[in-house]
Amino acid sequence: FDDPEFITAFKKAKGEMAYLNPGGIAECEKYTKDILEIGERYKSLLSGKA
């Protein structure tokens, strides 16, 4: 990450560095879409209504 103040602020907000990945809007959109698809696919298991 180019901005060292970002890392400081991220840690101060109790962000977990292991989960911080560089990427842009397209990567975030794909990740969100994939997570929503997984949630829908396994909805009954995740909600305890299997």
Residue type, 1: F
Q: pLDDT, tens digit, for every residue of 1-39?
A: 788 899 999 999 999 988 888 888 999 899 999 999 999
pLDDT of residue 8: 94
Question: pTM score, two decimals?
Answer: 0.55
Query: What pLDDT score was predicted for residue 20?
Result: 86
For 37-48, b/e burial (b = at least 16 CB within 10 A) is eeeeeeeeeeee
Band of pLDDT at residue 43, cut at 50, 70 and 90? very high
Burial zone of 10 (CB within 10 Å; 0-12 exposed, 13-18 middle, 19+ buried) = middle
The full set of domain ranges for the chain reads 23-50
Q: Token match 């109790």: residue?
A: 14
